[in-house]
Amino acid sequence: MKLKDSFIRSVLDVAGNENVKIDELMKNHTSFKVGGPADLLVYPSNYEMVKDLINICKENKVDYFILGNGSNLIIRDGGIRGVVIKLGHINKIVVDENLISAQCGAKLYSVADQALKNSLSGLEFASGIPGSIGGATAMNAGAYDGEMAKVIESSLVIDNEGNIRELSKEELEFGYRNSAILKYGYIVLETRMRLSHGDKALIKERMDDLAERRKSKQPLEYASAGSTFKRPDGYFAGKLIQDSGLKGTSVGDAQVSEKHSGFIINRGNATAKDILDLIEVVKANVYEKFKVKLHTEVKIIGEDSLT
């Protein structure tokens, strides 16, 4: 559906011309480096602007998508019809004693770095995760025996009625790579984390150790969305894929990483279709060999082709 000029003018009035891009390629906004154009890409600068943009979309029956750092996302080659609201400009981080409040667009590794600077322990696991606080909260991001649920105290969200509410840790209903945010379709605006005072040198040592382990075991030199599949109960996705003989398998420029089979990588010129076709190859082979169904951890959105 072509966006009406009157709708576009309404968006420009709220966000300002400098914060709106038309037909912006989403490959420029995802860690996988794939994705066709969005009709409109908008950068709000505060919470009220996010609310106003959502209201304009709802009033005009225009679809919208909330984008964080694009690090756990595949956008199809046809792109996204409607409006993409990218939260990257809303990224303030505030430290108060052992509490850190971080706005939705703040990079997770930047928050971990602020914790280190203030000798606060609990976010060491997050120092190499490329997502934003909003996305990390929504999917309860984790690594190396740490996860967001262990440190989050509360989150400020926009609910489905457009109200800004604060949810306690209990109300966030955290599970494995899941939360009330995903369950009910809320939008994270800000998250407050309670950490522990610690020894700065030991915190840095732990972060450096995890960084080295990531570098040695993960294909960080290639574009990807991190671990492509969720961990199946009782198994490790990477080992199932490797034991299925799929390490190095390619479709176009998409490849099952030769360093870590749990990662699908973009070797340079992969399309979203290449990646999605390879995902299906992996799923089918693993199920045929082990009768285990793999489910993607990465979110998949957008249209197959422009119409």
Known catalytic residues are: 177, 227, 297
The dihedral region occupied by 206, where left means phi > 0, alpha psi between -120 and 50, and beta the remainder, is alpha
Which strand (E) or helix (H) includes residue 15? helix 5-15
260/251 Cα distance (integer angstroms): 17
Per-residue burial over 23-59, b if 16 or more Cβ lie within 10 Å, else e, is ebbbbebbbbbbbbbbbbbbbbeebebbbbbbebbee
CA–CA separation, 184 and 6 (whole Å): 31
How far, in Å, CA of 131 to CA of 119, rounded? 22
Contacts of 18 (CB under 8 A, 6+ apart): none
Q: What are residue 194's DSSP bridge partners?
A: 99
3-state secondary structure of 229: strand
Residue with tokens 């926009």: 158
Cα separation, 188 vs 243, whole angstroms: 38
